[in-house]
Copies of this chain bind each other. A is one copy, B any other.
Amino acid sequence: MTSKQEFIEKLRNSCLRPTKQRINICEVLFNRDKTFHFTINDLFNLIKDKTGEKISLATVYNTVHAFHKKGYLKEIPINSNQTYFDTNVTDHHHFFDVKEEKLIDLKNEDVGPIEIQKSIPGKKIKSVEVLVKLED
């Protein structure tokens, strides 16, 4: 449980002005026990439900991308009509329940280390992600 005051400090330390909207979004996103996977639309609706106040869609986009740029959110590569984000920014893998359209974290020990044996001259590895699609 992070206090409003702590979010304000974190935002300031990140050169992001602690506006009412950003603080609300912080609380919705980061005041939780488990990792949270969401689309912009999920978040937009959740904010209305949880805080009772509406934040404009443009602001939700702006804020999510600001947080993403600062490394506080991760983007998950799946083919969907909407982009998925993740509050767990560590390197980790996912199940994707295709029917429910839901992401589930995989612990690294559930997958084991992945050694990439091939390399491309002049390029280095930025990330290695496993996506396990689930069906019924």
Contacts and interface: CB of A to CB of B under 8 A. Distances in A.
Nearest to A129: B131
Given A78-B77, A126-B134, A111 B106 contact: no
A42 to B, nearest CB: 16
Given A78-B77, A114-B112, A130 B128 contact: yes
15 contacts: A75-B79, A77-B78, A79-B83, A98-B126, A104-B120, A106-B116, A110-B117, A111-B115, A120-B134, A122-B136, A123-B134, A125-B134, A127-B131, A128-B133, A129-B133
Interface of A: 75-79, 83, 95, 97-98, 104, 106-107, 109-112, 114-118, 120, 122-136
